[in-house]
């Protein structure tokens, strides 16, 4: 099966503080986006990388990524995650059957995670989400009042890359009206089954300055060949 990885990279990253597009913030000496593309390509399970860039910045992103992926498309993203993914979906060649959707801000996700998700879809799953057990006790609230304590043994924190049969993801984008915080949430609303595979601690999302500090520390600990 031909597999494409959509990298969602159109966010501005306001919570990281002043600066350009979030995907262009530096981690080590390179932008987050370059780290993310490199991981997808290193997995050897991804045949095509499609980057959804901030509207107006597609040319800059394309120039930046020259030489980092043998097969690469850069498309203008949208004002929301959903619109960015939809724009990337319309750019996919007809040969693509499996689609991974990944946050460029989860740029340290290891190549093995891309492989595990892609293989689970190739083995027959309609949709696959990597996820980690929840360490904290989770409270359900109404206003400022706790109404329930959830059983954390049944909870998982979802990550990306998330994997889908192309037809399943396209159907979700065509039929689900309301937005969701991830593509798997949209697929769930169509009634399709979403499988879970083990996530990875290094696939965390860089959102705030403290996350960037943690990412720098992780990157420094990696062998030179994995940076």
Three-class secondary structure of residue 181 per DSSP: coil
Residue 172's pLDDT is what? 97
| Local structure of 24: helix, strand or coil | helix
pLDDT at 17: 84
Per DSSP, helices labelled H in the chain are 32-42, 58-65, 81-90, 111-122, 166-175, 183-189, 209-221
Residue-wise pLDDT tens for the chain (227 aa)? Answer: 799 999 999 998 889 888 789 999 999 999 999 999 999 999 999 999 999 999 999 999 999 999 999 999 999 999 999 999 999 999 999 999 999 999 999 999 999 999 999 999 999 999 999 999 999 999 999 999 999 999 999 999 999 999 999 999 999 999 999 888 999 999 999 999 999 999 999 999 999 999 999 999 999 998 875 66
Residue 82 token pair: 């959903």
Q: pLDDT by residue (tens digit) across 96-134?
A: 999 999 999 999 999 999 999 999 999 999 999 999 999
pLDDT number for residue 97: 98
- Other C-beta atoms closer than 10 Å to the C-beta of 126 total 18
pLDDT at 166: 98
CA distance 72 to 60: 14
pLDDT, position 227:
61
Distances from the Cα of 18 to the Cα of 64, 105, 208, 225, angstroms = 21, 16, 11, 31
In this prediction, residue 190 carries a pLDDT of: 97
Q: Which among 177, 48, 184, 51 has a CA at the least distance from the CA of 125?
A: 184
Start-to-end C-alpha separation, the chain: 28
Angle between helices 32-42 and 58-65 (to 10 degrees): 50
In tens, the pLDDT along 55-68 reads 999 999 999 999 99
- Domains of the chain in sequence order: 2-226 (3.90.550.10)
- Which tokens is 214 given? 């943690």
Q: Which pLDDT does position 48 carry in this prediction? A: 98
Q: Which residues, 6+ apart, have CB-to-CB distance to 69 below 8 Å?
A: 37, 40, 41, 49
pLDDT for res 19 = 79
Residue 33, both tokens: 């986006």
- Which pTM was predicted? 0.95
Length of the chain equals 227
């Amino acid at each position: 099966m031909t597999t494409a990885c959509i990298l969602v990279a159109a966010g501005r990253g306001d919570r990281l503080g002043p600066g350009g597009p979030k995907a262009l913030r530096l981690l080590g000496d390179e932008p987050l986006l370059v780290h993310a593309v490199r991981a997808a390509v290193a997995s050897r399970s991804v045949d095509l990388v499609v980057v959804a860039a901030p509207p107006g910045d597609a040319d800059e992103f394309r120039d930046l990524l020259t030489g980092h992926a043998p097969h690469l498309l850069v498309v203008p993203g949208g004002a929301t995650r959903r619109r960015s993914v939809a724009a990337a979906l319309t750019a996919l060649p007809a040969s693509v059957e499996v689609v991974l959707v990944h946050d460029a801000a989860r740029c340290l996700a290891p190549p093995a995670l891309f492989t595990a998700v892609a293989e689970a879809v190739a083995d027959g799953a309609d949709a696959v989400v990597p996820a980690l057990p929840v360490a904290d006790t989770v409270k359900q609230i109404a206003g400022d009042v706790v109404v329930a304590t959830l059983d954390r043994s049944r909870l998982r924190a979802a990550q990306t890359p998330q994997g889908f049969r192309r037809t399943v993801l396209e159907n979700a984008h065509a039929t689900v009206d309301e937005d969701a915080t991830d593509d798997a949430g949209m697929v769930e609303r169509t009634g399709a089954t979403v499988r879970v595979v083990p996530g990875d601690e290094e696939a965390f999302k860089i959102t705030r300055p403290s996350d960037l500090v943690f990412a720098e520390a992780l990157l420094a600990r990696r062998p030179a060949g994995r940076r």
